[in-house]
């Protein structure tokens, strides 16, 4: 395989590392693993299948129409629907930018013992400089590849020499662990869905496809990105849950910090593992900062019909550039208020789960539109998975606020 | 929305609610102490940098302080003052021990951190005893 072919898959890897495994997932997976072991791993499997289906549809729409998902949502369902989806996505993704920036700062804190608050402005500056100075493709490749160091969590599972029978039993027992309740089990399942099926992954993936100039001939590349990227994210998520099960569950440890997420890697692999984990967290949160920033910029620019894109010089997409720069600045300021980024993330991913139907419905409708998609419209398999995923997301959007309050945010 | 927010911050008013809160508080103490002990053990095995362990220990001390403050702020229902005393006394011990660990780590005294972390086993035993007392 040529180097350019290999690198063409980095958008999927970036979507996986930065989208699937962001700060929300780093905390949610470890938290779930510590309390329920692998008993919610099936949620991750379903989330991977669902997000793969919708990412493929979004990528196909972008390749056929040369327009990304949100742009089509507005034209398909009208400006009011588009505005509701825009405001929802903006609030959730905006909060996530702040949390991801804090995640970058946490990765620096891990190795320096200097408060993350000191590193937040530094992280903002680094993000701004990189986004300004480096082309999209280079950024994508650097963070897609550096992010692979997150695989240290998979290695850690092996190195901890777990009882594989116990892991399998946990993964095939879809019920709460002793002492836990069904409402908390359901709430944390929803938290996982919100952390793993973020709408911005889809928007970023399809907008990135437009920037890459995808056409029908790019289907193989696009699908390979989907098939490689998201299952990779799912594998990492399950690995984090597994190491938390092995190290935390027997000791009764509850996870509330990123430092706790890396502790099993420290136990398994020592300082080398810790270094890989810190680099991986940096790459994942940096990638997620980039994705959330761009996804928000894309959403707003596409809704108002502005020119947008990282591939264009900033002067030619001045309003897009101004929106992303302003959001970055506001996020740095928000992070410096000492608002707990982990708690913000948990709330944001629950609200993100509630908004999923707003993101999925227009994509499903457009992907089935014969006039727009012609011969490339959805087949039976895509529709079956898409409809089931949409149905489940509708149930989640109703159950999430009730469970959020009833379980007091999962604390019981 | 107001009702939901009210429910989220509503303090325990019944004996059962207060006991449940006490059990949750002790569970958090156990988690914080067990995490700190693990950092100490990994430092002993030379599996982690002192700086990283120091971050972890600092977080556990801060969490323990917040956990203790939150529980202490609840008004105990009539007859449950002894439970409050037992849990807050335990919390004071947890915060003190974790604070000593954090101070030693920040001062670069690795051997002290390792020694004190090993002694957290006694504190975990005391936490288990308190758990039994509260549950009975």
Each residue's pLDDT tens digit, A299-354: 788 778 777 666 666 667 788 888 888 999 999 999 999 888 888 888 888 888 88
* Predicted pLDDT at A32: 94
Residue with structure tokens 């039976």? A380
With beta carbons less than 8 A apart as the criterion, state whether A261 and A24 touch: no
Task: Please name the residues between 41 and 80 in chain B that touch chain A, using a CB distance below 8 Å.
Answer: 42, 45-52, 54-56, 59, 63
Assigned domain for B6 exists = no
| pLDDT score for B87 | 96
Q: What are phi and psi of A254, to 5 degrees?
A: -100, 135
- Decide: B24 and A181 in contact? Cβ < 8 Å: no
pTM, 2 dp:
0.90
**B84 is a domain residue:** yes
Crossing angle (nearest 10°) for helices A69-112 and A258-304: 150
Among the residue ranges A84-88, A179-183, A393-397, B88-92, the one predicted with the least confidence is A84-88
Report the C-alpha gap between A181 and A40 in whole angstroms. 13
Under 8 Å CB pairs connecting chains A and B tally to 74
The three-class DSSP label of residue B76 is coil
In a domain, B85, yes or no: yes
Burial A132-151 (b: 16+ CB within 10 A, else e): eeeebbebbbbbbbbbbbbb
Q: Within a domain: residue B115?
A: yes
Whole-angstrom Cα distance, residue B17 to residue B32?
A: 23
Query: Measured between alpha carbons, how far is A71 from A368 in angstroms, rounded to an integer?
Result: 16
* Domain housing B93: 16-135
Q: What is the pLDDT of residues A18-62, one digit of tens each?
A: 566 788 788 889 999 999 999 999 999 999 999 999 989 988 988
Interface test with chain A among B31, B34, B41, by most A beta carbons within 10 Å: B31
**Contacts with B54 (C-beta within 8 Å, 6 or more apart), sequence order:** A113, B102, B105, B106
The structure tokens 């056929």 sit at A64
Tokens encoding A129:
């400089």
Give the integer Cα–Cα distance in Å for B103 and A120. 25
Q: Do A263 and B39 touch (CB under 8 A)?
A: yes
pLDDT per position as a tens digit, A80-123: 777 777 787 788 888 888 989 999 999 999 989 899 999 999 99
What pLDDT is recorded for position B112? 96
Q: What ipTM goes with this model? A: 0.91
Which tens digit of pLDDT belongs to each residue from A290-306? 888 888 887 788 778 77
**A178: its two tokens:** 């002793």
Q: Per-residue pLDDT for B59 more than 60? A: yes
Q: What is residue B48's predicted lDDT score, i.e. its pLDDT?
A: 95
Q: What is the CATH number of the domain that holds B112?
A: 1.20.120
Instruction: Give the residue numbers in A contacting B (CB under 8 Å), as ranges.
Output: 109-113, 247, 251-254, 256-257, 259-260, 262-263, 266-267, 270-271, 274, 401, 405, 408-409, 411-412
Q: Which of A223-227, B15-19, B110-114 has the lowest mean pLDDT?
A: A223-227
In b/e form, how buried is each residue of A284-314, taking b as 16+ CB within 10 angstroms?
bbbbbbbbbbbbbbbbbbbbeeeebbbeeee
Tally the domains of chain B.
1
Q: Is residue B1 part of a domain?
A: no
pLDDT at position A284: 86
* Residue B79 covered by a domain: yes
Tell me what the pLDDT averaged over chain A comes to: 86
Establish if B37 belongs to a structural domain. Answer: yes
């Amino acid at each position: 395989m040529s180097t350019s072919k290999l690198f063409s898959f980095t958008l999927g890897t970036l979507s996986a590392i930065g989208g699937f495994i962001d700060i929300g997932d780093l905390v949610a997976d470890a938290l779930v693993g510590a309390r329920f072991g692998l008993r919610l791993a099936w949620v991750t499997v379903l989330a991977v299948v669902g997000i793969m289906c919708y990412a493929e549809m979004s990528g196909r729409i972008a390749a056929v129409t040369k327009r990304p998902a949100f742009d089509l949502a507005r034209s398909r369902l009208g400006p009011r629907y588009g505005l509701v989806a825009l405001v929802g996505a903006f609030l959730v993704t905006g909060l996530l930018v702040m949390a991801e920036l804090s995640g970058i700062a946490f990765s620096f804190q891990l190795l320096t013992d200097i408060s993350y608050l000191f590193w937040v402005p530094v992280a903002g500056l680094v993000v701004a400089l990189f986004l300004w100075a480096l082309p999209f493709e280079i950024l994508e490749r650097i963070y897609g590849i550096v992010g692979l160091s997150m695989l240290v969590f998979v290695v850690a599972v092996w190195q901890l020499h777990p009882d594989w029978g116990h892991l399998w039993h946990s993964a095939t027992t879809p019920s709460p662990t002793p002492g836990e309740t069904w409402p908390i089990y359901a709430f944390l399942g929803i938290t996982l869905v919100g952390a793993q099926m973020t709408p911005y992954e889809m928007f970023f993936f399809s907008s990135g496809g437009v920037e890459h100039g995808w056409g029908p001939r790019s289907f193989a590349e696009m699908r390979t990105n989907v098939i490689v990227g998201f299952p990779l994210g799912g594998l990492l998520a399950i690995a984090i849950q597994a190491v938390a099960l092995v190290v935390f569950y027997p000791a009764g440890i509850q996870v509330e910090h990123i430092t706790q997420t890396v502790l099993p890697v420290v136990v398994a692999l020592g300082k080398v593992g810790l270094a890989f984990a810190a680099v991986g967290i940096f790459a994942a949160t940096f990638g997620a900062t980039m994705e959330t920033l761009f996804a928000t910029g894309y959403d707003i620019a596409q809704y108002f019909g502005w020119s947008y894109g990282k591939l264009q010089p900033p002067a030619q997409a001045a309003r897009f550039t101004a929106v992303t720069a302003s959001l970055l600045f506001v996020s740095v300021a928000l992070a410096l208020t000492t608002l707990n980024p982990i708690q913000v993330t948990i709330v944001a991913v629950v609200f993100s789960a509630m908004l999923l139907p707003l993101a999925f419905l227009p994509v499903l409708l457009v992907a089935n539109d014969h006039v727009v998609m012609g011969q490339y419209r959805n087949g039976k398999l895509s529709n079956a998975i898409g409809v089931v995923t949409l149905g489940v997301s509708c149930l989640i959007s109703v159950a999430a606020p009730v469970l959020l309050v009833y379980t007091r945010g999962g604390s019981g | 929305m107001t009702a939901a927010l009210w429910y989220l911050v509503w303090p325990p008013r019944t004996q059962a609610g207060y006991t449940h809160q006490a059990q949750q508080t002790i569970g958090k103490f156990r988690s914080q102490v067990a995490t700190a002990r693990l950092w100490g053990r990994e430092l002993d095995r030379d599996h982690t940098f002192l700086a990283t362990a120091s971050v972890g220990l600092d977080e556990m001390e801060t969490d323990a302080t917040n956990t203790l403050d939150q529980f202490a702020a609840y008004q105990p229902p009539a007859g449950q003052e002894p439970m409050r005393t037992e849990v807050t006394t335990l919390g004071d011990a947890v915060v003190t021990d974790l604070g000593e660990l954090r101070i030693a780590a920040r001062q670069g005294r690795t051997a002290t951190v390792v020694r004190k972390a090993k002694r957290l086993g006694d504190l975990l035993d005391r936490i288990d005893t308190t758990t039994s007392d509260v549950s009975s």
